[in-house]
Amino acid sequence: MIFKSKYPDIKIPQAGVYQYVTSNPNKIPDGKVIYVDGVTRKSYTFGEFKHETKKFAAGLQDKLEFKRGDVLAIVSPNHIDYPIVLLGTIAAGGKVTTANPIYETTKLSCQLIDSGASFLIVHPEILEAAIEASIDAKIPASRVLLFGDKEIKGYKPYRSVLINERVIEPVYYTPEEAKSTTAYLTYSSGTTGKRKGIKITHTNMVARLTQENSMERNLGPHSIIMPVLPLCNVWGSIILHMTLMLGATAIIHSNFSVGTICESIQTFKINRIYATPPIILSLVNDPSAQQFDLSSVDMIKCGGAPLSDQSEKKFYNMFKIPILQGYGLTETGAVILFPDTMKNTVPGIISLNGLLNEWSIKQLFLIGSVGNLLPNMKAKILSDDCHELGCNEPGELWVYGPNVMKSYVNDKVGTDSAIDKDGFFNTGDIAFVDEQGYYFIVDRNKEFIKGLGFHVAPSELESILLTHAAVSDAAVIGYYSEKEATELPTAYVTIKNVYKQSRALAEEIQSFVDEKVLPYKRLRGGILFIDKIPKNASGKILRRLLKESLNNNMKK
């Protein structure tokens, strides 16, 4: 059975990314401030942004012999010039790959080589790693430039090299070119396996922005927003583009400390925040946050990883700010499911997780996201033997739409296994859809623990663990026992400072969970203490690292 979005289809402009985001549907004047550095107060108006990006594009062509189709890599924490470099490259007809600034040399080298990057704009703080990676990727030193205004070790600021008086007319794309031409090469988080490069075309990005714009009823030129998340990921990139489309003002920070976030909200009267679960938890756990006036914020959009129901309720009780969570993947251009804010069970909280404890199907404990498909999208739910399922039947979620990636980078096998002959993309997540078109995410298929003939969702056990008084964080993985010939649910837990690690505490926590679940879900692999659960910047648990650690320990 094919499920369609409950929203009517919308018209997707057949244009290149640059033309679309500068089309100015809200008729904002060139003097409207669009981007502001939250610390230095440096800013760009709409007119300055267009002028600077066109000069950047001209400089690439004139000074570095940049050609249409070339790949430029950005390696930097959030920076006020990030959107200039990002969209200036697009204006020159190039492709952009954005790398996480925390990557060590090896990971960065892999991305530069895999993406085919031949130009690099880097933040001075991470220049050393970038130099080594650029050498590995055979990028000439003359094509490695810096953010900021200082020359370091012979590497020059991009502004001193590229920004001159000449401007160009941004490269134009026909509808067919926009559909087939890659604009961005983004990379997956790699929480369960090797990171994958993802080709996002101009049409993919324009479609995603159009879908987002159709769902946003309260944002416009009057809005002041703040992305408290890395601009290097696909969601951060979308927010930068969306700001231009709406004519809003975005406050850009590289420092995500509680003090910086709260001070910015109070100073700039920010009314929309985009954040990840770790940011929400830091605000909840830091008493200083309550000393600031955060009343200007009308909503926080949270993504990247699930935020627990308990954390969401605690945040709302403290700050009276609603949180909306969405579900999506890098391959789908970030969020593809949004909740219907009329279907709430928790007063005042525009929530996904607030609904989940109300639902139970086939003894599945649901933890994750729920919402409606974006316009122009379709989905199907497949069983283990690839049969299409109907309403209220959990299975693997496949989605189709103009926002779904073109392909993986240099990986035809991976692409063919992820996208079927009809163009549906395999999310790898287990979900079901009800009669009203609401989707409920059960868990990651790759993360299920398969034991005793049943599938165990780690998120269910983690949710229970977090309700124990001693536990501050938890992650559950499967350990394959040769003796029992099955995977055993095993928990890593971080305990609060007032408790001490001991066998007795481990047994108490294990019993606490086991008493609340069916026999096959019990933590038969036991409880292991860890100082910190490894997670990426979005808050996703790096289960791969935990499994490697557990397997290595078991071999000793």
pLDDT at 454: 63
pLDDT at 542: 86
Phi, psi values for residue 368, rounded to 5°: 150, -130
8 A C-beta contact, residue 178 and residue 202: yes
With CA atoms as reference, report the closest residue to 96 among 220, 240, 249: 240
The tens place of each residue's pLDDT in the chain, 556 residues long, gives: 999 999 999 999 999 999 999 999 999 999 999 999 999 999 999 999 999 999 999 999 999 999 999 999 999 999 999 999 999 999 999 999 999 898 889 889 999 999 999 999 999 999 999 999 999 999 999 999 999 999 999 999 999 999 998 999 999 999 999 999 999 999 986 555 567 899 999 999 999 999 988 888 789 999 999 999 989 988 899 999 999 999 999 999 998 899 999 999 999 999 999 998 888 988 998 999 999 999 999 999 988 777 777 788 889 999 999 998 888 888 998 888 877 643 333 333 333 333 222 222 222 333 345 789 999 999 999 987 889 999 999 889 999 999 999 999 999 988 998 999 999 999 988 889 999 888 988 766 667 786 655 668 788 898 899 999 999 999 999 887 767 667 889 999 999 999 999 999 999 999 999 999 888 889 999 999 999 999 876 677 888 889 888 877 776 5
List C-alpha distances in Å: 153 to 157, 290, 463.
11, 44, 50
Task: State the CB neighbour count (10 A cutoff) for residue 156.
Answer: 15
**Tens-digit pLDDT profile for residues 358-396:** 222 222 333 345 789 999 999 999 987 889 999 999 889
Write the burial class of residue 346 (CB in 10 Å: 0-12 exposed, 13-18 middle, 19+ buried): middle
List C-alpha distances in Å: 429 to 57, 74, 426, 444.
40, 30, 8, 4
**Tens-digit pLDDT profile for residues 176-203:** 999 999 999 999 865 555 678 999 999 9
pLDDT at 171: 96
Give rounded-to-5 percent helix, strand, coil for the chain.
35, 25, 40
Which residue(s) pair with 35 in the sheet?
44, 250
pLDDT at 366: 35
**Tens-digit pLDDT profile for residues 501-519:** 999 999 999 999 999 988 8
pLDDT at 285: 86
Alpha-carbon span 259 to 282, nearest angstrom:
10
8 A C-beta contact, residue 391 and residue 434: yes
Which is it for strands 272-275 and 224-228: parallel, antiparallel or unpaired? Answer: parallel
Is the model's pTM score more than 0.85?
no
8 A C-beta contact, residue 399 and residue 379: yes
Q: Provide the token pair at 348.
A: 């005042």
Q: SS in 3 state form for 441-456?
A: EEEEHHHCEEECCEEE
Please name each of the domains of the chain with its CATH number. Answer: 448-555 (3.30.300.30)
Q: Provide the token pair at 359.
A: 């639902």
pLDDT at 70: 98
Q: Provide the token pair at 389.
A: 């399922």
Phi, psi values for residue 450, rounded to 5°: -105, 105
The angle at the Cα of 428, spanning 426 to 434, to the nearest 5 degrees, equals 85
Handedness of CA 350, 461, 190, 413 (dihedral sign): negative
Write the burial class of residue 210 (CB in 10 Å: 0-12 exposed, 13-18 middle, 19+ buried): buried
Query: Which contacts qualify for 6-10: CB closer than 8 Å, 24 or more apart?
Result: 6/372, 6/373, 6/436, 6/437, 7/214, 7/372, 7/373, 7/374, 7/375, 8/375, 9/375, 9/376, 10/210, 10/211, 10/214, 10/375, 10/376
